[in-house]
Amino acid sequence: SNAMFKKFSMEVVQSQNKTKSSVQRAIRQKLEEQFPTLEGAWDDIMPPKSDFMAVKCQNHITLITADKQILFFQERDGPYSPCLRLLQQYPQMLPKMQCDIGACKFIIGGSNIMCPGLTHPDACMDEDVGVGQIVGIYVHGKEHPCGVGMMKMSTDAIRKVNKGHGIENLHYLGDGLWHNHTLDM
């Protein structure tokens, strides 16, 4: 949902218990499945001896943290999305959806991405993906992603219909989660 991390602070956190190692393993496996391009880097991202925690927050949000750094978030039982800082470190982990530069101001304000922003001549949709896929939101002319989103329409539908919300903006530069990315906020 939108405004997921607009306000994000310790108040939102409901429980912080060290996760059982069986649960840890299950989560790591799920992450490895969801992000195959990160194979080999997992020990850097989540070192085996790090303090791994699945933190529960309001609105059915779960945060995956290692050594107090928030790495992934998940709504209910949905797919995991990386924290924007992590995505900027490993851009290959998500498909790239590039908008025209005019959309940048709105993305950083938290708004969703409308189809015309993705069918603009400066825009580019790297891969063909379906609804519900987690993607990295990029902007023409900038090297790093400025948001993490979920496809509300498939890339095909976006090109054909060219109207309405194309990508839901889950997490963006300057939102609550961007500023409070460690657990001791």
CA distance 133 to 40: 23
x/- track of binding to other proteins for residues 96-135 (CB under 8 A): ------xxxxx-x---------------------------
φ, ψ of residue 14 to 5 degrees: the values are: -100, -45
**Residue from the set 16, 34, 62, 89 that interacts with other proteins by CB under 8 A:** 89
Contact flag: residue 72 with other proteins (CB under 8 A):
no
Residue 145 near residue 169 (C-beta atoms within 8 A): no
Contacts of 127 (CB under 8 A, 6+ apart): 95, 96, 155
**Residue from the set 21, 58, 59, 182 that interacts with other proteins by CB under 8 A:** 21
Contact flag: residue 92 with other proteins (CB under 8 A):
yes
User: Measured from the CB of residue 88, what is the shortest distance to other proteins in angstroms?
Assistant: 5
Q: How far is CA 98 from each of CA 71, 154, 177, rounded to the nearest angstrom?
A: 23, 15, 22
Contact flag: residue 146 with other proteins (CB under 8 A):
yes
H or E element in which residue 60 lies? none
Residue 33 near residue 27 (C-beta atoms within 8 A): no
Summarize as ranges the residues that interact with other proteins (CB under 8 A). 21-22, 25, 28-29, 32, 37-41, 43-45, 48-49, 85, 88-92, 102-106, 108, 142-144, 146, 173-174, 178-179
